[in-house]
Chain A
Amino acid sequence: MWRRFWTLVAGAARGPRSPRSCTRQGSGAPVPGSGATVFALSSGQGRCGIAVIRTSGPASGHALRSLTAPQDLPPARSACLRLLSHPRSGEPLDRALVLWFPGPQSFTGEDCAEFHVHGGPAVVSGVLQALETEAQRRQALRQLDGELGHLCRAWAKTLTKALAHVEAYIDFSEDDNLEEGVLERVDSQVRELELALSAHLRDARRGQRLRSGAHVVVAGPPNAGKSSLVNLLSRKPVSIVSPEPGTTRDVLETPVDLAGFPALLSDTAGLREGVGPVEQEGVRRARERLEQADLILAVLDASDLASPSSCNFLDTIVTPAGAGNPKENSQRLLLVLNKSDLLPRGGPDPSPNLPPHLLLSCLTGEGLDGLLEALRKELAEVCGDPSTGPLLTRARHQHHLQGCLDALGHYKQTKDLALAAEALRLARGHLGRITGGGGTDEILDIIFRDFCVGK
């Protein structure tokens, strides 16, 4: 599956591709102008043991050689261990298995290469970036249309103008008559841009979750029925359930479709102190997982709310998260009171002092619809609704927007105008990797258009 689809040699994408030309290029140097080369992460997105990156097209051999330099191409169709390094900086990226499939005996009929790299995001993006050439960047620019492209270009325009005005202030304010308030206007433009970028990047992380799945962690005191809930939501027996507290001692994960959203559901050990070393380790892992969670499903035994473990859980996990009323940076949490079947029918709410919560019986399935509806709402917040607003689909867009935002942060901190301008230049450079432009001549054009300078 080509999740990312970038063209390696932009200028080459013109002519129709023929399998014949691929044959000719099978072992020799790639001849540009005869077909596009694409590459992509072909294993799943996100953290994994091994990630596979595939390239297909006439430049595959060249790409493989340049990443594994100084070694030559490996023998066809046999796995070899190679040190991958960045072709320009020489910086080592990973030690990886590489495979070389000269066309036409390959899965696309073209020259193909595979890189089996260690699956951490850093390694994967490092290799992908190394494969990315300037030409490709231009190609990506052309593909950058629609709402995201529109947004990026608008930001680039604002930033270029801000930079040009700072530059005008540096180069001309002592000799010529610039109007008042040039720098103040730039300051407020930069602040607005920062807000817009950070809002967008929050959306971007939601886009990431939409592809990789949101992390939903089920937590609670021992024997609250967490594993039963996991089994209920995944519609299969993932976890062993027993009335014995402490049955689950490790973190168990299962990918599920929750109310239409992909999610990674984790069952964790019940949180309690003073138990055996194995369970203790389970508790430690559970807490760790809780910190990484996009959404916590906090489960309590509705019939056992007064017990010390329930109270402790409420104090340490539920209250800090501000359940039902999440603040900007706090974790999202849904409080579920399980075992509602044990409560007296039609009785009063067992816990009027608790934060907003849902009643559920894993045993009877009562309350499940309500829970799913609540989950859908929460996950729509976490993942973003794919039908509204542009999502950053490319990691590199996100990377450069983040770089832009970081650079803008440096703008505010400095009084040295040369340093401030450098921060804006750096920020503009990051946007330039997405939109292009921002060169000296563009800056000078704006300066001479907006100000009466020169002698």
Chain B
Amino acid sequence: MFSLRGCGLCVASSLTKNHLSLARFIGDSAAPLATNFDVVVIGGGHAGTEAAAAAARCGSRTLLLTHRVDTIGQMSCNPSFGGIGKGHLMREVDALDGLCSRICDQSGVHYRVLNRRKGPAVWGLRAQIDRKLYKQNMQKEILNTPLLAVQEGAVEDLILTDPEPEHAGKCRVSGVVLADGSTVHAESVVLTTGTFLRGVIVIGLETHPAGRLGDQPSIGLAQTLEKLGFVVGRLKTGTPPRIAKESVNFSILNKQTPDNPSIPFSFINETVWIKPEDQLPCYLTHTNPRVDEIVLENLHLNSHVKETTRGPRYCPSIESKVLRFPNRLHQVWLEPEGMDSDLIYPQGLSVTLPAELQEKMITCIKGLEKAKIIQPDKSSSVFTYFVSFILWSGYGVQYDYLDPRQITPSLETHLVQRLFLAGQINGTTGYEEAAAQGVIAGINASLRVKRKPPFVVSRTEGYIGVLIDDLTTLGTNEPYRMFTSRAEFRLSLRPDNADSRLTFRGYKEVGCVSQRRYERASWMKSSLEEGISVLKSIEFSSSKWKKLIPAASISIGKSLPLRALDVLKYEEVDMKLLAKAVPEPLKKYIKCRELAERLKIEATYESVLLHQQQEIKEVQQDEALQLPKDLDYLTLRDVSLSYEVREKLHFSRPETIGAASRIPGVTPAAIINLLRFVKTTQQRQMAMNELPKIDQSLCDTDRLEERQL
């Protein structure tokens, strides 16, 4: 293991090689600058970068603390972003002016929308990303964000003080202690330490304590969290070996080409940085019975697969695929790692066999007969041999996570006031899931400092809401990954309309959205509304429509006139066809590709959404019924609840009746009793509010305290 201090020095030296603007970077050698921040974010991964940038966008003086600046924005696993469900999350992060979508539009090498033929509600924006470019662009963005400073250092402990009496929680975080003993004071702290908490790397029967990609695990912090009483669980994940590009025989494999034109991830981009013809292809190959044999023959050499640490129900590794679905061919996607990278990432071959067996297994796959697993040049790295070695062989990681039922929907912990958690530490997997939590944690860490109400996305509003509600009410015992089937209002929560769902809230309630984005979203919103009302106003008989658009499968028998909006619902009709048939007033709506496409999507789902709106309203009504935050369920006298239900409510601390009703084991009868309790509490509160004088003086005291701080 390394000394933490030593690592900081190594990084400082390696940094001089990077061509980065380091204006706000506080290196180890730099004179200690400010040690007081509004928000301190620990970790520079996908959750940490989003959290730090979001807090800074909200106007908080923010510090990003990371082991090494040169790993900020590192894509430590697959070289791709997005996909089905994950692409939805990215659109929502973008709608709140988050980073990852914009960075992906500058760094991709193969853009493709998945599920094109399955309906726009489930389109999955996805791209292969150049790791190097992504990291560069992310670092440029982070280091140039106003109000955001970056410092290297390992966090060893939290500074804890007395709790604020008006909030629940046993203490309050007011800063962090670094490995070198120095302290940084903060009004809010966001913890995004990923797999660092007691991370262990497993290859074959060997285990090595380590975090992600050669960084050291946070053990001091893990102990502190445990001492505070956080319930900790353990998860495992894995990654495939990397293969030398020139050793693959692509000529005999199925080639997949990117979309033309490329659809950008970000609402504010019309195009991506690279032309379709300059993008790189992906290739598809399959496993075979020989692969199964090698895996099964060597299970005794594979401790990751055998151990009791909970793996997911889905099949993350080739071992689990072979064990649970024997005698089948499994897909392996060969993905480029970057424009000028010599590496290929074999998606679907995550494996923890000993290194020599990994090569044996890979070389019996079609196209990979001569494949070489890359062993990097040892001298080029500042790392020790085994750390560099594990960079490229497949390996498993086992790590601690904190049961996410210990955090609120604003991602603040119940136990420690002003401490926010985001990313893998909450039991999720995936860059996009991490980024989504990062934005929310950053925004709320900032709002908390400003004493503003939290920013919570409901599950009726976005996949971000589904993700956080699932985590905070149900918890998870496998790495939580987003699927569209988790979203009950899938037809409303589409990739195309994330801006209309979140950008306005982000702008008005929080201030995390730029003026430019707000104006773009406002223009789109008014154009859509206008377009839809125009489409509703144009009415012809079905026979006239049939004459105007012969390609449409309109049945002439109907006697009622058809609206243009109804005609647009036909699969074979799009805005272009419609505008050709009725140029006035429709032709102006096809000038913008995105607008024309979104009008078509709105038409497709119009009638179903009408029905869904009612369901959404019902869920929102339940969510409007707030449960008091300081409720002690274990001793609460006025409500008849079983002990089992009390314990469940005590642990998850649901904020609303809606969330409480989704906790497994909380019975409908208990919900009715809680509901009654909430209503009487509300009435009591309303009576209290009729005493404005006392209320006012309380507020004044609050303000006084704020100033003293």
Contact = CB atoms under 8 A, between A and B. Distances in A.
Interface in B370-427: none
Candidate in A133, A169, A171, A453 with the most chain B CB atoms within 10 angstroms: A171
Interface in A157-180: 167, 169-172, 174-177
A416 B321 contact: no
A143 B227 CA distance: 49
B683 interface: no
Interface string B609-640: 00000000010010000000000000000001
Interface stretch (A19-27, A49-57, A115-123, A441-449): A441-449
B324 A175 contact: no
Interface string A285-302: 000000000000000000
A160 B142 CA distance: 46
Contacts of B618: 88
Contacts of B84: 170-172, 174-175
Nearest to A34: B640
Given A9-B669, A135-B672, A170-B485, A455 B347 contact: yes
B287 to A, nearest CB: 10
Contacts of B491: 418-419, 422
Interface in B7-57: none
Contacts of B286: 177
B130 to A, nearest CB: 20
Interface in A91-137: 133-135, 137
Interface string B104-125: 0000000000110111111010
A112 to B, nearest CB: 20
A10 interface: yes
A438 B1 CA distance: 49
A454 B312 CA distance: 9
Given A170-B115, A170-B122, A452-B324, A422 B313 contact: no
Nearest to B430: A455
A305 interface: no
Interface of A: 9-12, 29, 31-33, 88, 133-135, 137-138, 167, 169-172, 174-177, 415-419, 421-422, 425, 440, 443-445, 447-448, 452-455
12 contacts: A10-B667, A12-B669, A134-B668, A138-B667, A138-B668, A170-B484, A417-B118, A418-B121, A418-B491, A422-B490, A444-B486, A454-B315
Nearest to A440: B486
Interface string B130-173: 00000000000000000000000000000000000000000000
B672 A418 contact: no
Nearest to A59: B672
A418 B124 CA distance: 12
Interface stretch (B195-203, B297-305, B325-333): B325-333
A422 B608 contact: yes
B483 interface: yes
A448 B604 CA distance: 30
B329 A174 contact: no
User: Nearest 4 CB-CB pairs, A to B?
Assistant: A454-B314, A11-B669, A418-B119, A416-B119
B331 A177 contact: yes
A177 B328 contact: yes
Candidate in B314, B488, B571 with the most chain A CB atoms within 10 angstroms: B314
B657 to A, nearest CB: 12
B672 A417 contact: no
B672 A452 contact: no
Interface in B328-353: 328-331, 333, 347-348, 350
A384 to B, nearest CB: 33
B330 A445 contact: no
A443 B485 contact: yes
B610 to A, nearest CB: 13
B283 interface: no
A25 B296 CA distance: 68
Contact of B348 (A417, A418, A455): A455
Nearest to B662: A439
Nearest to B78: A455
Contacts of B313: 444-445, 448
B258 interface: no
B524 interface: no
B433 to A, nearest CB: 14
Contacts of A418: 118-122, 490-491
Label chain A's interface by main secondary structure. helix
B670 A11 contact: yes
A46 to B, nearest CB: 30
B668 A170 contact: no
Nearest to A451: B325
A177 B669 contact: no
A386 B450 CA distance: 70
A445 B321 CA distance: 16
B671 A416 contact: no
Nearest to B325: A452
A440 B120 CA distance: 21
B673 interface: yes
Contacts of B114: 174-175
B85 interface: yes
Contacts of B315: 448, 452-454
Nearest to A443: B485
B350 A455 contact: yes
A162 to B, nearest CB: 13
A355 B209 CA distance: 92
Contacts of B483: 167, 171, 444
Given A170-B122, A175-B83, A133 B605 contact: no
A238 to B, nearest CB: 45
Nearest to A441: B474
A452 B321 contact: yes
A29 B677 CA distance: 12
Contacts of B115: 170, 174, 417
Nearest to A176: B331
B328 A452 contact: yes
B316 interface: yes
A443 B348 CA distance: 23
A9 B672 contact: yes
A422 B618 CA distance: 18
Given A11-B667, A177-B331, A444-B483, A415 B571 contact: yes
A160 B120 CA distance: 23
Contacts of A137: 668
Contact of A417 (B122, B325, B350, B673): B122
Contacts of B673: 32
A135 B673 CA distance: 11
A10 B669 contact: yes
A445 B333 CA distance: 25
Contacts of A440: 485-486, 488
B330 A452 contact: yes
A353 to B, nearest CB: 39
Contacts of A422: 490-491, 608
Interface string B558-571: 00000000000001
A31 B605 CA distance: 45
Nearest to A450: B325
A302 B200 CA distance: 98
Contact of A419 (B312, B333, B605): B605
Contacts of A454: 312, 314-316, 481
B581 to A, nearest CB: 22
B615 to A, nearest CB: 9
Contact of B671 (A134, A171, A176): A134
Nearest to B615: A429
B571 A135 contact: no
A309 B20 CA distance: 102
A220 to B, nearest CB: 37
Contacts of B668: 10-11, 133-135, 137-138
A171 B483 CA distance: 6
Contacts of B331: 175-177
B669 A419 contact: no
Nearest to A33: B640
Given A9-B672, A448-B313, 20 more contacts: A9-B669, A12-B669, A31-B640, A32-B640, A88-B621, A171-B122, A174-B114, A177-B330, A177-B331, A417-B115, A417-B117, A418-B491, A419-B608, A447-B485, A448-B314, A452-B324, A452-B330, A453-B314, A454-B312, A454-B315
